[in-house]
Structure 1
Amino acid sequence: MHLFIPGPVEVREEVRKELSGEMIGHRSDEFSDLYDEIIPKLKELMQTENKVFISTSSSTGLLESSVVNCVRDRCLNLVNGAFGERWHKITKLNGKNCDKLEKEWSKPIEPKDVEERVKEKSYDTVTLVHNESSTALMNPVEEISKVLPDDVLLLVDTVSSMGGIDIPVDDWGIDVCLFGTQKCLGLPPGLSFLCASEKAITRSQEVTNKGYYFNFDNFIKYDSKSQTPTTPNIPLLYGLNQQLDYILEDEGLEERWNRHEKLGEIARNWAKEYFDIFPTEEYASNTLTAIKNTEDIDVGNLIKELKKDGYLISNGYGKLSEKSFRIGHMAERKPKELKELLVKIEETLNL
């Protein structure tokens, strides 16, 4: 099956072979050597000098970890899609005082709105989804970061963008950045990653009732031993190490970003020819495209028919189920492959 969904993604054969490596103990010297190989590569990918932690969870676990550790008094959740809404729900369910700044799902979060809202109340933390995969919209992280006071932490979900889009974590002033394996990294699901600034780590030390599993204290303790707090997916770490070498050395970060940009352009140009794109174009994602169903096609039937031919795309997320459909073009997807899918859609819909 050719996966053109917003994750999981297809995995290179070389990585699949690497997943069959010898099992080792997660408290062994061999594991620590592997850990010490991986962490600098993750830092290079994220363009950060901050602490980087490996979590034996999905990225959703790190959404929880970030607010549990970093929200001291009150949090502002920025919401313009399903995953921003999920982060707000997670914040509330963890007993944190929080408010929501909400925008229409097709519109970006505006820095001026954030600046005004933060001035109104004493927030110590702001959460933001960089690449809202429910709407294929990229929020202006750097611009939002610039309007926040120095004592307000910025937590950013880069789940569907890190590894496909240029995200200089330190230059943008991101205090916590998180993502997982199964999207732009081009790996199976099973691990997630978080980098935390010194401000975020200091804040965590001031916060109580942080639980155990996602407590920054545990990440820091075991990182000092070149280990993870709990038993990780060791085969996936082998694959991660190999894939990071491929991304950083074989393809190169700039080439990878440029390829995803080209994929985004191809998908958007096609969408505008036959339908329209869902988000404000200036903020449209380069890792997936949400297409507005202006022709009132049967999205479910389109997915069904494409699947017969070995192609899988996604419907709109949640309330957008029939109002849009989404094409993922991340990880190792090439322009030629995307163009073949688009021709197949044209044939299926008789466009």
Structure 2
Amino acid sequence: MKKFHLTAGPSELYFTVEQHIQQALKENVAVVSHRSKAFQDMFGFTTSQVREMLNVPDNYYMVFTGSATEVWERLAQNCISKKSTHFVNGSFSTRFHQFAEAWGHQTQKIEKELGEGFNTNDFQIDTDSDFIAITQNETSTGVQFPLEDIYKIREEHPDKLIAIDAVSSIPFVDIDLTKVDSMYFSVQKGMGMPAGLGVWLFNERCLERAKSLKANGRLLGGYHDMFTLLKNAEKNMTPATPNAIGIYLLGKVSEDLLRRKMEIVRSETVYKAGMLYAAIEEHKDLDYAVKEERVRSKTVIVIEILNGRSPKDFMSYLEGNGLVISSGYGPNKATQVRISNFPTHSKELYFQLIDLINAW
């Protein structure tokens, strides 16, 4: 029996990835020199597809990293002057806050309990903060940060850089990048690809911040600072030998999604999320882990298991029927499960999932 992964990440490969890998091997992508014309063409194609898919403004730069985790460190080194503000409501937003502290920055932590979102009327961002870190979709808890709230923060704090962690949001989230300064993601979740590639988008304001810090003596990192990454990206290259197959696949999968039409991809995501949340509401032994509807994720649905029933039993039951899901994360592992809702997960697969949930 083939098993389909509705895991929070890595997740099920996009259905065209296997054939793209086969084609990549035929074209010797795995051994192409990152200083060759063939690599430059591949790099250029991929960046053009991602830019179109995500409506990236022309004045935004795009570089590749080893992971989204790496971008935390690049931002801490290159874009935080003295103090950063972090919205923390889960394990991944917590880790970026820890990265900033590890690099010696002052930090403001605006924190919510696990499973809770933020209300823009309930917090005050410190005036001396120069950088704001927002996790748009907290993978560990299934809480999203509504886009209208992000835009409101920009209106109220136009002087501060805003960076968006969109790791489990892309390609679903349709964010207006003119209202933030940086966004980053990795490919093993919504893009349906093998892990090992990060994508970092940033604007001129971020670059000017890095220039200022460097001019004042800041070491921006011995490994791929913003300028090294950008200098190479402008030539459709990378500083060191990259994950060439990952870059190739990102271009091909982005092209596939564009062929499907992004408005359809996004509407299907909303439809599937609605189906699953309705099934949760109707089941006597299940509940929403995120109580406030406006901050419930559409891409990582977190379920509370009730009435003494076991998350492990629920996961085993689904896996026995060919569907693999994730356990709860960290302190919620014993009471919750997480189910992803990415473009590779068809409506038909979700129909099967709902039928199994109803029968449990």
TM superposition score normalised by structure 1: 0.92
Aligned to 2:252: 242
Judging changes above 3 Å, is the alpha-carbon distance between structure 1 residues 117 and 168 closer, same or farther for their aligned structure 2 residues? Answer: closer
Aligned to 1:259: 268
Task: Give the distance between the partners of 1:294 and 1:240, measured in 2 at CA.
Answer: 39
Judging changes above 3 Å, is the alpha-carbon distance between structure 1 residues 15 and 52 closer, same or farther for their aligned structure 2 residues? Answer: farther
Aligned to 2:304: 292
Aligned to 2:49: 41
- Once the two structures are superposed, what CA deviation does each residue of 1:153-200 show, in whole Å capped at 9, x if it has no partner? 111100001112322222xx1111000111111211111101111111
- Is contact 1:43-1:52 (8 Å) kept? no
Question: Does 2:152 align with 1:146?
Answer: yes
Aligned to 2:282: 273
Question: Does 2:97 align with 1:88?
Answer: yes
Task: Give the distance between the partners of 1:203 and 1:265, measured in 2 at CA.
Answer: 41
Question: Does 2:88 align with 1:79?
Answer: yes
Aligned to 1:192: 198
Aligned to 1:327: 339
Deviation of 1:309 (Å):
2.9
Question: Does 2:178 align with 1:166?
Answer: no
**Letter aligned with residue 16 of structure 1:** E
**Structure 1 stretch displaced more, 16-25 or 280-289:** 16-25
Deviation of 1:67 (Å):
2.1
Aligned to 1:27: 35
- Once the two structures are superposed, what CA deviation does each residue of 1:235-276 show, in whole Å capped at 9, x if it has no partner? 22222121111111x211100110110111011111111122
- Once the two structures are superposed, what CA deviation does each residue of 1:107-165 show, in whole Å capped at 9, x if it has no partner? 21222344x2334xx00001010011111111124423423422101111000011123
RMSD (CA atoms): 1.7
Deviation of 1:289 (Å):
0.7
Judging changes above 3 Å, is the alpha-carbon distance between structure 1 residues 230 and 293 closer, same or farther for their aligned structure 2 residues? Answer: same
- Is contact 1:53-1:219 (8 Å) kept? no
- Once the two structures are superposed, what CA deviation does each residue of 1:321-347 show, in whole Å capped at 9, x if it has no partner? 122211112131112211212322344
Deviation of 1:316 (Å):
1.1
- Once the two structures are superposed, what CA deviation does each residue of 1:198-235 show, in whole Å capped at 9, x if it has no partner? 11111111221221324111111111211112211112
Question: Does 2:232 align with 1:222?
Answer: yes
Question: Does 2:316 align with 1:304?
Answer: yes
Task: Give the distance between the partners of 1:87 and 1:339, measured in 2 at CA.
Answer: 36
- Is contact 2:67-2:199 (8 Å) kept? no
Task: Give the distance between the partners of 2:64 and 2:234, measured in 1 at CA.
Answer: 15
Equivalent residues in 2 for 1:101-120, closer than 5 Å: 101-114=110-123, 116-119=124-127
Q: Runs of at least 4 residues of structure 1 off by over 6 A?
A: none
Judging changes above 3 Å, is the alpha-carbon distance between structure 1 residues 149 and 84 closer, same or farther for their aligned structure 2 residues? Answer: same
- Once the two structures are superposed, what CA deviation does each residue of 1:251-307 show, in whole Å capped at 9, x if it has no partner? 111001101101110111111111221112121111121112233321122223332
Aligned to 2:131: 125
Deviation of 1:13 (Å):
4.7
**Which residue, 331, 350, 353 being the options, matches 1:341?**
353
- Is contact 1:58-1:192 (8 Å) kept? yes
- Is contact 2:84-2:132 (8 Å) kept? yes
Aligned to 2:16: 14
Judging changes above 3 Å, is the alpha-carbon distance between structure 1 residues 301 and 103 closer, same or farther for their aligned structure 2 residues? Answer: same
Q: Which ranges in structure 2 are unaligned for 5 or more consecutive residues?
A: none
Q: Which ranges in structure 1 are unaligned for 5 or more consecutive residues?
A: none
Aligned to 2:67: 58
**Letter aligned with residue 288 of structure 2:** I
Task: Give the distance between the partners of 2:219 and 2:240, measured in 1 at CA.
Answer: 19
Number of residue pairs aligned between Structure 1 and Structure 2: 342
Aligned to 1:137: 143
Deviation of 1:64 (Å):
1.9
Task: Give the distance between the partners of 2:272 and 2:71, measured in 1 at CA.
Answer: 29
Find the residue that maps to 1:179 and give its secondary structure: strand
